[in-house]
Structure 1
Amino acid sequence: MSVTVRQVRARARARARARAELAPVRTLVEAYARYEQSAAVVPEDWEGRMADLTAIGRVTVFIASIDDTVLGYASMTREVSTWTGQTFAHLDCLFVDGRYRGHGVGRLLFNAACAHARSVGDTELQWQTPAWNAGAILFYCRTGAQSASKERFTMPIEPTADHHPDSRRSR
């Protein structure tokens, strides 16, 4: 199995190409949300939002594929530690289609994320996975990662009319 990992590169002039490249990833994003038992709904314009965020460097996406078949993806952002004043990479998602797990696809995506973090000067990669996801925990332990036990919290923030994501498009 010859797997290729590529970074989605969106530029303002190539937004349509980035949307097309991200379209097959959407199915995996939806599968990942179901796998993690999330109530999150992937918005209709997900590809456009991700193309925009990729174009401005806010998110980096890697796609693992064989020919035109997308096997998995990883997405990451850069964050800042106010304790150290340094940036670090946050691995938001790493998901491999169940049919392709156990063949090194996840490791290729993880390595691409680490290499990218290194290339932009980050000295740490952080992420979280549900405590019930024993397979992912074992995978990450095998990479040499250290577990940092914390509770993760979320708080929904309702946008105001001036800051609603859809209102930006009409300006």
Structure 2
Amino acid sequence: MSVTVRQVRARARARARARARARAELAPVRTLVEAYARYEQSAAVVPEDWEGRMADLTAIGRVTVFIASIDDTVLGYASMTREVSTWTGQTFAHLDCLFVDGRYRGHGVGRLLFNAACAHARSVGDTELQWQTPAWNAGAILFYCRTGAQSASKERFTMPIEPTADHHPDSRRSR
């Protein structure tokens, strides 16, 4: 199985054609994003304009997305952001998602995506890669332990914040 891992690229100053290409490249990933949300038993709803939002965030460097595929078949994806540790004053990479279609697990696809994320973090000068996975996801925990990662037990909390009218995600698109 010859798997290719590529980074989705869009540039902030890119022409509309380049942004459209990034949206098109992200379109088949949407199905995996939705599958991942279901897998993690999340109530999150992937917005209708997800591809456009992700292309925009990719263009400004806020998110990096890697896609694993064979020819035109998308097998999995990884997405990451850069964060700052106020304790150390250093940046680190946050692996937001790493998901492989169940039909392709156990074939090294996850490891290729993980390695791409680590290589990218290294290339931009990050000193660490951090992420979380549900405690019930024994397969993911075993996978991450095999990479040499160290577990750091913490509770994860979320708090919905209702945006104001001038900070609503949809208001940015009309500016």
Deviation string, structure 1 residues 54-107 (Cα, Å, up to 9, x no partner)? 000000000000000000000000000000000000000000000000000000
CA contact (8 A) 1:117 1:124 kept: yes
Q: How does 1:86-101 map to 2 (within 5 A)?
A: 86-101=90-105
Residue 10 to residue 152, structure 1, CA distance change in 2 (3 Å): farther
Secondary structure in 2 aligned to 1:94? strand
Deviation string, structure 1 residues 37-61 (Cα, Å, up to 9, x no partner)? 0000000000000000000000000
Secondary structure in 1 aligned to 2:55? helix
Superposition RMSD in Å: 1.4
Displacement of 1:162:
1.0
Displacement of 1:7:
0.3
Displacement of 1:13:
5.2
CA contact (8 A) 1:10 1:51 kept: no
TM-score (norm 2): 0.95
- Structure 1 portions without partners, runs of 5+: none
Secondary structure in 2 aligned to 1:117? helix
TM-score (norm 1): 0.97
- Structure 2 portions without partners, runs of 5+: none
Q: Distance in 1 between matches of 2:167 and 2:75?
A: 35
**In the comparison of the two structures, how many residue pairs are matched?**
171
Secondary structure in 2 aligned to 1:137? helix
**Identity, % of aligned pairs?**
100
Q: Distance in 2 between matches of 1:129 and 1:35?
A: 12
